[in-house]
């Protein structure tokens, strides 16, 4: 019988991941966007030293030359571990996954960096479902060998670029009463349209987002534009008070959930290797409902008025507000 479980960060610390790595007997495969946490690195090296076959795939240096994984890549190589850069066929490999002994797969929103383990709201789902585990392994092997991976629209898991936009759009379309969403980016117009239509048919939507100034300057227009469209149709949009939001989670009607690495942005759907999982398990959706309720109670509304945006952007990122053509006289009047 297959089982699934939920890991909530930073509540549970790195312990579930360390326990799984330390329990590995035959094999361990890790695919990660950013890997730098010393404790997890030491556990992976220790697994290799006790005879576990370890393979690690890391996102390659970015187009601007920035390489978040250079140090850990060298450390893994020096320890004799097989390590490769991610498939160059994608702009970025943003997937965060692990498979232990070809039996348990971890689908995660978090990077293996200390901040995501201790300071950010993040999630992971573990699954022993044979089809899910086999898909994660098959994609890893395909990317490792620079081969094409075609999961198809009927895949057990949610993959980008493949069925991601279709599955998430359908998830929103099927919501009947409530949608709770945590995500860093709301930029994809297909998804924004689906959310608008859900709101118009009476679905109560609660979104949690990062503050506008956290967006990259080149993403300011679509990122804030998407949030303002949703705000205009009555969607409630909040920001966490005491934690940074990094998790990507959707909960519909208290019955169905999606957890994974996918930002709601065109680049994530079309140009990045991403992975998420949809679950219906009572224990998982019940706990997610408790977490999102707690987070909502410990959050505050984002001020998406001209004045609010001007203040947020100019205090943290001078000049960014000009791209939005804000009605500056209103912004100044409302200060």
Q: What's the rounded Cα separation, in Å, for the pair 15 and 114?
A: 12
Residues in the chain: 335
Q: What DSSP state is assigned to residue 86?
A: P
- Give phi and psi for 248, each to the nearest 5: -120, 105
CA distance 315 to 77: 43
Please give the structure tokens belonging to residue 82. 């097989």
As to burial, measured by CB atoms within 10 angstroms (0-12 exposed, 13-18 middle, 19+ buried), residue 107 is buried
Which one, of 255, 335, 84, lies nearest residue 326 by Cα?
Answer: 335
Number of Cβ atoms within 10 Å of the Cβ of 153: 9
Q: What is the CA radius of gyration of the chain?
A: 20
Helix axes 189-200, 220-232, angle to 10 degrees: 10
Q: Give the number of other CB atoms < 10 A from CB of residue 258.
A: 21
Q: Is 218 exposed, middle or buried (0-12, 13-18, 19+ CB in 10 A)?
A: exposed
| Active-site position among 101, 270, 271, 281 | 101
Residue tagged active-site, from 48, 94, 238, 244: 94
Bin 152: left if φ > 0, else alpha if -120 < ψ < 50, else beta. Answer: left
Determine which one of 37, 48, 68, 96 is catalytic.
Answer: 96
Nearest-angstrom CA–CA distance, 35 and 24: 19
Does residue 96 have an active-site annotation?
yes
What gap in Å lies between CA 47 and CA 39, rounded to an integer?
Answer: 12
Structure tokens at 126: 């573990």
* Burial (CB count <10 Å: 0-12, 13-18, 19+), residue 300: exposed
216 is catalytic: no
DSSP classification of residue 170 = H
Is 270 tagged catalytic? Answer: no
Please give the positions annotated as active site. Answer: 94, 96, 101
């Amino acid at each position: 019988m297959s089982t699934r479980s939920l890991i909530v960060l930073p509540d549970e610390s790195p312990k579930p991941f360390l326990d799984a790595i330390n329990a590995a007997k035959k094999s361990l495969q890790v695919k990660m966007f950013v890997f730098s946490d010393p404790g997890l690195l030491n556990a992976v090296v220790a697994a290799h030293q006790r005879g576990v076959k370890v393979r690690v795939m890391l996102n390659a240096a970015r187009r601007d030359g920035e390489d978040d994984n250079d140090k850990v890549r060298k450390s893994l190589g020096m320890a004799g571990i097989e390590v490769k850069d991610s498939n160059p066929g994608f702009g970025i490999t943003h997937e965060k996954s692990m498979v232990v002994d070809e039996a348990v797969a971890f689908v995660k929103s978090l990077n293996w960096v200390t901040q995501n383990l201790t300071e950010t709201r993040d999630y992971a789902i573990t699954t022993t479902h044979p089809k899910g585990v086999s898909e994660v392994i098959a994609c890893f092997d395909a990317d490792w060998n620079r081969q094409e991976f075609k999961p198809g629209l009927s895949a057990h898991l949610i993959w980008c670029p493949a069925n991601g936009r279709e599955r998430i759009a359908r998830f929103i379309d099927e919501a009947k009463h409530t949608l709770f969403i945590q995500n860093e980016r709301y930029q994809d117009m297909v998804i924004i349209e689906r959310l608008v239509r859900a709101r118009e048919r009476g679905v109560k939507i609660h979104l949690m987002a990062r503050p506008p100034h956290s967006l990259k300057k080149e993403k300011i227009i679509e990122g804030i534009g998407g949030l303002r469209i949703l705000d205009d149709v009555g969607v409630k949009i909040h920001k966490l008070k005491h934690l940074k939001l990094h998790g990507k989670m959707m909960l519909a009607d208290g019955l169905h959930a999606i957890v994974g690495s996918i930002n709601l942005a065109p680049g994530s759907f079309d140009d990045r290797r991403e992975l998420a999982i949809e679950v219906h398990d009572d224990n998982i959706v019940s706990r997610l409902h408790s977490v999102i309720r707690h987070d909502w109670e410990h959050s505050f509304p984002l001020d998406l008025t001209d004045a609010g945006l001007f203040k947020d952007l100019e205090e943290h990122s001078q000049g960014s507000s000009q791209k939005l053509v804000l009605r500056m006289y209103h912004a100044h009047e409302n200060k």
